[in-house]
Amino acid sequence: MDSFWRDAWTSFKAVFGPVLAGAAIVLALLGPPYAPAAVVRISLIWLAVAGLLALTVLLTAGNLVVAARRLSNPRLPRLISVYFERRDDAEPGDLEEETVLLLEPSELFGYDGVVSIYCNQRLGGADARPFERLIGVGRVSNIQEGKIIAVTVLRYGAGHDTIWSRIRVGETAALSDIRAKPTVPFRETGLGATVNG
């Protein structure tokens, strides 16, 4: 929310000058014929109508700004829940358990897309910025009817067993630290052949 008000302040500073310039021009044009003794009477009903119209325009503009900001800077979906199950039919080389992360609806994810799973960790004290540590890779295995996104974990990062054990039991603090991001597979970039060759 803090970044929203920062963006709003930046927008205000951008339009503040032109609005004042326009008001100065209007006052300059209306100043000469203005008679100080003149009395203008406006019915209260017209003031109420004008106020409602102005409020409607302001709320509409505010809603447009918020909607445009969301579209230009989409938020990563939060982790809602985790489904964990041991697999008895696992073949050699397969994971012995199935972990499915359920994410909030998001336009960033599509079916069968590759997902990188990160855990936020603070380095250098409580006031430090979070550092995202890659703890696994998965894929979007299903998008539910209610647009909930199911991500099946395909690979766990080495050395992160403690984090995953906390995630599997649904520990609130651990779930709130998880970030899932859509990822382009490395082989799709065309760099794999160059690096290996």
178 in the same domain as 90:
yes
Lookup result for tokens 């080495």: 158
Q: State if pTM tops 0.75.
A: no
Residue 32 makes CB contacts below 8 A (sequence gap 6+) with none
Boundary of a domain, candidates 55, 72, 89: 72
Query: Do both 45 and 119 map to the same domain?
Result: no
Question: Is 38 in a helix, a strand, or coil?
Answer: coil
Same domain, 165 and 124: yes
63 and 107 inside one domain? no
The tens digit of pLDDT for each residue in 179-194 reads: 888 886 665 545 444 4
Range of the domain at 63: 2-72
Residue 20's pLDDT is 77
Residue-level pLDDT at 194: 42
Domain boundary among 72, 100, 118: 72
The answer to whether residue 86 sits within a structural domain is: yes
Instruction: State the 10-residue block means of pLDDT for the chain, 197 residues long.
Output: 66 73 77 69 83 84 73 74 73 69 86 88 68 87 88 86 84 85 66 43
Q: What is the pLDDT of residue 197?
A: 39
Residue 86 C-alpha from the chain's centroid:
33
Does 123 share its domain with 48? no
Q: For the residues of 67-102, what is the DSSP string, one character each? A: HHHHHHSPPPPPEEEEEEEE-SSPPTTS-SEEEEEE
Judge whether 197 lies within some domain.
no
Can you tell me which residue has the tokens 């590759």? 114
C-alpha distances out from residue 106 to 102, 136, 143, 177, Å: 12, 20, 10, 18
Question: 43 and 100 share a domain?
Answer: no
Model confidence pLDDT, tens digit, residues 53-79: 888 888 887 777 777 766 665 578 888
Number of compact structural domains in the chain? 2
